Amino acid sequence: MKTRILALAFAATAALTLGACNDNTFLTETPIDFVGPGNFYNNATDALAAVNGAYAGLENTSGSNYYGGLFVMLVEFPTEMQTPYLSATNERSLVDNYTFTPSHNYIYQSWLGAYSIINRANGVIARVPGISMDATLRDRVVGEAKFLRALNYFNLVRLFGGVPLETAETNSLDSLQKPRATTADVYALIVQDLTDAIKVLPKGSTYGSSDIGRASRGAAKSLLAKVYIQRAAVGGGTPADYQSALTQLQDVDATEGYSLVANFSDLFDMKHEVNSEVIFDIQCTRITGAGCHVSNQVAPRNSNYGTSQNGSFTAEQGFYDEFVVADKRRVATWQLSFVNKAGAVILWDPTQTASKPYGADTPYMHKFLDSLSTTDDEANYIILRYGDNLLMESEAINEISGPTAAAYAPINAVRARAGLPALLAGLSKSAFKDSVFHERRLELAMEGPNGYFDSQRNWLWAKTRIQASMALGALNKFKNNKYPKAQTSLIDKFMLMPIPQRAIDINPQLAGKQNPGW
C-alpha cells in the first residue's frame, strides 16, 4: 500500500478542487485535498483516490501533526512511561507534567487532524454510492471511509468527551457551526459506522499486495471491541459493553486468522512489516515527505539516523526499571545502543546522563526508529494488532466474570512471547485488572497510541503511578536536576483534555461548553 497511498493520495490532491475555511468555523481550514466539485466522483479511480486521501491524513496532515507526532505526544507523555526531558516551559513538558492549558497547540492540532480526516471520509460516504462502478468495490470503499471516520471520532471522544458531530461533507462555512453532541451520541455514531463497515469490508488476507494496509473486516471488529471497552469504562456505557467487546474479540480469534509473531522485535522491523499480528497500521515510506515522521522523534540526539534527531521520547526511570532483563520487549522498546554521527557505537548503561555520549539520563524509545532511513520518513506506525486484542480479551473477561482461567489465557500468551512466566495465579479481580494494565504498558508503550486512554479506564491505578514518577523526578532520580519534574495533583479534570481554546473562540456554539474544571 506504500506506493498506492502515495500515488493515489497525490492524485486526489491534484484532482480535487482546493478549498479552505476561514476562522468562522471550529476548523481553521478544510483539508486541501478533500472538498471537490461534484464532477470529480465519476468512476472507481476517483472513489479510490478520495478514500486514499483520507488515509493520507493519518500520515501527515501538516508536517509532524496528528499521528506524525503531536497526537502521539499528547497521548503518551501524560503517562509514567515516557518523558521528553526538557525544560518545564517546553510545550512537550507541559503535556508531560500536566501543566498544559486549553490553548496548548498539541490539543488543537489533534482536534484539527481528526476533523480533517472525518471531513474527507464524509465526502466519500456521501458521494461514492452514486458512482456507477463495481458494487462490491463501491461498498468496500464506503466501508473504509466509515472505518476511518469511526477511528477519528473515537480519538475525539476519548480526548474530549462529546464533540460536534459532522456527518456531511463540508461545502459551506455555516455547516461547521455545530454545538457539542453528547458523549453517548458520538459513541453511537462510531458503533454504527463500524457495524456498517464490518458488513462490507473483506478479510485482511484477501487484499492483494498493492492494497496492504487498507482497513479490513478484522480491523473494524478489533476497533469496535476497543470502542465497547472504552465506553463501558468511561464513556457512559453499561457492563453489557464488555460482553459486546468480548464477542467481537472472540470472533476475530475464530475467523480473521491473526496470531502473535514469534519475535516481538519483528513488529518494528521494516523487513517484517507485513505479518500475522498487525491488524491495522499507517502505511509509510522512506520517500521524503511521505513518511509518518515518528522516526525522527525517537532518533537519539547525536545519532546518525535520518536527518533530524529529536530524541523526544525517553523512558521514565521507574518505568524502564520495570523491564526485567529476561523480558524480550526490553531491547525492542528501548534504544540500548546507537551509532553516533562519527560512526561510533554508543551503548546505554545506568551511568549515562544527558551530558555524556548517550545524551540522555534514561534510554531513548526504540520502537518505530528506522535506523536505515536517510530522511525523516520511516516505517509503518501500528494502530491495531493482535497482542492488544489479547490483552483486551483478558480485560473484558475479568470485568464480566473475574479472573477465570479464560481471563488468564490471553495475557499469559502475551507474557510467554515476551519470555516471561505466567501471571501469578489466584489474583483478586482488582489485582488482575491492575496486572492487565501493567502488561499493556510493557507491551504497547507508544503504540496506538494507547497510554492516556488506558489511564482513563484505570484512573486511580494510573495516577498513582504517574505521581510516583513525578516524585522520583523531584527527588533527582533522573540524575540531572536541570529539568526536575513538576508535582502536579492529578485531579479528575485530567481524565479528559480541555476543548481547544481556539475551537471555542472560533465557534460560538462551543462557548461556555468547556469540560469541567478547565
pLDDT in tens, 120-139: 999 999 999 999 999 999 99
d(CA 140, CA 216): 9
* 236 backbone dihedrals φ, ψ, rounded to 5°: 80, 15
Question: What is the tens place of the pLDDT at every residue in 252-272?
Answer: 999 999 999 999 999 988 778
Residues 6+ apart with CB under 8 A from 11: 49, 52
The residues of the chain scoring below 50 in pLDDT are 3-8, 10-11, 13-35, 37, 61, 376-377
Q: Which helix or strand (DSSP H or E) is residue 334 part of?
A: strand 334-335
pLDDT of residue 11: 46
By the 8 A CB rule, do 243 and 227 touch?
A: no
Please give the Cα distance from 268 to 256 (Å, whole number): 22
d(Cα 390, Cα 406) in Å, to the nearest integer?
A: 11
- Beta bridge partners of residue 82, listed in sequence order: 315
Q: What is the pLDDT of residue 272?
A: 82
Tell me how far the alpha carbon of residue 62 is from its chain's centroid.
17
Distance CA 80, CA 315 (A): 9
End-to-end CA distance of the chain: 42
| CA dist 239 → 171, 190, 227, 232, 408 (Å) | 40, 18, 13, 6, 20
Give the alpha-carbon dihedral of 301, 305, 306, 308, to 10 degrees: 0
Give the per-residue pLDDT at 303: 80
Residue 501's pLDDT is: 96
Residue 491: burial class (beta carbons within 10 Å; 0-12, 13-18, 19+): exposed
Q: Which pLDDT belongs to residue 309?
A: 73
Residue 437: what pLDDT?
98
Q: Which residues pair with residue 337 across a beta bridge? A: 347
pLDDT value at residue 52: 93
Question: For residue 287, how far is the Cα from the chain centroid?
Answer: 22
Q: Enter the pTM of the model.
A: 0.91
Grid-cell match 517546553, residue found: 90
Confidence at residue 7, expressed as pLDDT on a 0 to 100 scale: 45
Quick one: DSSP state of residue 379?
S
